[in-house]
A = this chain, B = another copy of it.
Amino acid sequence: MTVRIVVLGGGFGGMYAARALKKRLRGAAEVELINAENYFVFQPLLPEVGAGSITPGHAVSPLRFLLKGVFVRKATVDSVDFARKVITVFQGIQRMPVEVPYDHLVIALGQGVDLSRMPGLEEHALKMKTLEDARRLREHVIQQLEHAQVTPLEDTKRGALTFTVVGGGFSGVETVGEMKELIDRSLPFYPKIDPSEVRVLLVEYAPRILNEMPEKLADYAAGHLRKHGIELKLKTGVASATARQLVTSDGEVIDTRTIVATIGNAPLRVVSRMGLPSQHGRIAVDRTLRVPGYDNVWALGDCALIPLKEGASERFDFAPPTAQFAVREAKRIAKNIAAAVAGKPVQPFSYKSRGSLASLGAKRGVAEVFGIQITGFPAWVIWRSYYLALLPGMGTRIKVMVNWSLDMLGARSLVQIKAYTKPPLRYVYYRAGDRIYNMGDRSDGFFTVVSGAVEMDRVNPQTGETVTRVIGPGGHFGERLILGATRRKTTVRAVEDTKVLVMNREEFMMLADGFPAFREYFRPYMEERGAQWPPASD
């Protein structure tokens, strides 16, 4: 009977593990890979996607191209029953759970992001974890330039032209550098924006950036970023965020409509629910990458805590969560599973880093390769060559190379392909004093106060007098939508730091139309105003 090996996750760890397993075991095993997406993301290129130097499609490769002979299942993992040796998944739009049996299980699901410790950051920050995050960042940056070009409001323009990246690790540094390059190259097409109005910041909690790199290289990188007009805020954390501002741990309030958070790695819920032995939110495997207490469960990559020596306890005693390590772990896990299947002994994982690389934008980088430190243009060339060589699939490699070359020739496209539309139902944070809307503004949503309080001014049309009303938790405003209103008749401001639940106009109307209890609730309000449902069209 053939052995069934199922790999969960199609990132560096999972994809390379499935590949190595198939190569090693061939017909002796059925190898299946389950991933929520049908592609492998080349994570190190995400900042390039975020800055538009390559298109989203070129930072990824279809798993089916990379994994010939492996059964690829596009599905999300719901749970694992280790006793019965089955995984429950949901496939696409299907509501029916499907069970997938395994003999050996490889967990390579990576990590998630949790920003909930800082009020408003989860709701208002962009992330740089997935392809979609990177794509959205590019669109968001262009959206800010478009807006700054036409807005008549000073403070809106200032916020639109202030771009903040939180976290000075590889991802944050590359993102801020690439983003600055995108902005600089785009400005000539926005005549109403003076370059001096643009502010780009990198906020880092530690006293320096690129903590994983030697100090000398980090210093070079910091100097390069500063020279290119990026402000570094070191020893600075994030206290809270709204759609318009970021408050630092020093209490500084920065007007910014772009916050990119590259911090907050946290275990994925599906992994923590598995109940496997864990430490620091990662699955605590033994040195052979096997989960203690299980013969047939293995883990690697960012979701696993992998000791590099016996009695590991310090941070550097464990494998760092990098692509370089994940690829080596994949090879070891394939060998060990093959050995376990054959009843042979398994070996501990060991690997020593070959170095590290970071791109800084504007054709500059820093690199440490086999102990040699390199900076500037040569480091950037090494960076691009290294990742080009590492890209799986010759097709993708050619496309990225061609597109990089085309990018150097002309202006970078400013096309904002898909505006990010706000979720129709969402939490929004305001700081005390923030206006929520003004009289005469578009009536675009319905608001419920979750915490805090707002103040609503209404001008009595007969007397010209202003009547003010305070609305606290559980109270709501903006319901004039149900009368068909298209413009606000009141002005609403937050009087405390306030969290509201916002429902867009269209969804509010659908609920009022389709869910009788909802409309019932508003009936007294409507009757008082002599209104009927459905409202007269605007």
| Contact status of A406 and B414, CB under 8 A, knowing A147-B91, A147-B93 | no
Contact in complex: B395, A410 (CB < 8 Å):
yes
Q: Which residue of B lies closest to A436 (CB)?
A: B95
CA distance A39 to B146 in the complex (A): 11
- Given A95-B441, A402-B402, the answer on whether A474 and B516 have CB atoms closer than 8 Å is yes
**Would you list 12 pairs from A and B whose C-beta atoms are within 8 A, ordered by A residue?**
A61-B413, A92-B150, A95-B441, A96-B438, A97-B440, A97-B487, A98-B150, A395-B413, A425-B511, A450-B513, A474-B516, A521-B521
Q: Are A97 and B442 in contact (CB under 8 A)?
A: yes
Shortest Cβ distance from residue A43 to the other chain B in the assembled complex, whole angstroms: 15
A392 at the interface (CB under 8 A from B): no
Is the CB of A444 closer than 8 A to any CB of chain B?
yes
| Highest count of chain B CB atoms <10 Å: which of A61, A406, A425, A503 | A425
List B contacts of A73 (CB < 8 A): 149-150
User: CB distance A437 to B146 under 8 Å?
Assistant: no
Query: A514–B411 contact, CB under 8 A?
Result: no
B65 and A411 contacting across the interface, CB-CB below 8 Å: yes
Min C-beta distance of A10 to chain B, whole Å = 12
Q: Which residues of B have CB within 8 Å of A422?
A: 93
Name A residues whose Cβ lies closer than 8 Å to a Cβ of B. 37-39, 55-57, 60-62, 64-65, 72-75, 90-98, 131-132, 135, 142-143, 146-147, 149-153, 156, 189-190, 395, 398-399, 402, 406, 409-411, 413-419, 422-427, 437-438, 440-442, 444, 448, 450, 474, 476, 487-488, 501, 503, 507, 510-511, 513-518, 521
Inter-chain contact B151/A91, CB cutoff 8 Å: yes
A510 and B425: CB pair below 8 A? yes
Q: Is the CB–CB distance between B474 and A156 below 8 Å?
A: no
Contact indicator B507/A425 (Cβ below 8 Å): yes
Q: How far is the CB of A488 from chain B (nearest CB, A)?
A: 8
Is the pair B514, A427 in contact by a Cβ cutoff of 8 Å? yes
Q: Is the CB–CB distance between B147 and A92 below 8 Å?
A: yes
Q: Which of B74, B153, B419 contacts A150 (CB 8 A)?
A: B74
A74 pairs with B146, CB closer than 8 A:
yes
The answer, among B91, B95, B515, for a CB contact under 8 Å with A448, is: B515
Pairwise interchain contact A65-B414, C-beta atoms closer than 8 A? yes
* Complex Cα spacing A146 to B89, Å: 14
CB-CB < 8 A to A399: which residues of B?
406
Contacts of A131 in B (CB 8 A): 417-418
Bound-state CA distance A469–B364 (Å) is 68
Instruction: Given A395-B411, A411-B395, A442-B97, decide whether A92 and B38 contact each other with a Cβ distance below 8 A.
Output: no
Give chain B residues whose Cβ lies under 8 Å from the Cβ of A507. Answer: 424-425
State how many angstroms separate the Cβ of A46 from the closest Cβ of chain B: 13
Q: A395-B410, A424-B424 in contact; A152/B98 too (CB < 8 A)? A: yes
Determine whether the beta carbon of A402 is less than 8 Å from that of B406: yes
A152-B98, A516-B474 known; A60 vs B410 contact (CB < 8 Å): no
A472–chain B nearest beta-carbon distance, Å: 12
- Whole-angstrom distance from the CB of A517 to the nearest CB of chain B? 5
Q: Is the Cβ of B414 less than 8 Å from the Cβ of A38?
A: yes
Cβ contacts under 8 Å, A132 to chain B: 417-418
Lowest 3 A-B CB distances belong to which pairs?
A501-B514, A95-B441, A62-B414
Bound together, the chains give a CA A88 to CA B518 distance in angstroms of: 33
Which of chain B's residues has its CB closest to A96's CB? B441
Interchain CA distance A424-B425 in the complex, whole Å? 8
Tell me which residues across on chain B come within 8 A of A487, comparing CB atoms. 97
A64 lies within 8 A of B414 (CB): yes
Complex CA distance for A237 and B418, rounded to whole angstroms: 32
Q: Determine the distance from Cα of A402 to Cα of B400 in the docked complex, in whole angstroms.
A: 12
Verify A416–B514 contact, CB threshold 8 A. no
Q: Nearest chain B CB to A393's CB is how many angstroms away?
A: 9
A1 nearest CB across to chain B (Å): 21
CB distance from A4 to the nearest CB of B (A): 15
Residues of B within 8 A of A61 (CB): 413, 415
Asked whether A92 lies within 8 Å of B143 as measured between CB atoms, the reply is: yes
Q: How far is the CB of A100 from chain B (nearest CB, A)?
A: 9
Question: CA of A419 to CA of B39 in the docked complex: distance in angstroms?
Answer: 12
> B515 touching A416 by the CB < 8 A rule?
no
Contact (Cβ within 8 A) B418 A135: yes
Chain B residues whose CB sits within 8 angstroms of the CB of A411 once the complex forms: 65, 395
Q: Is the CB of B511 within 8 A of A517?
A: no
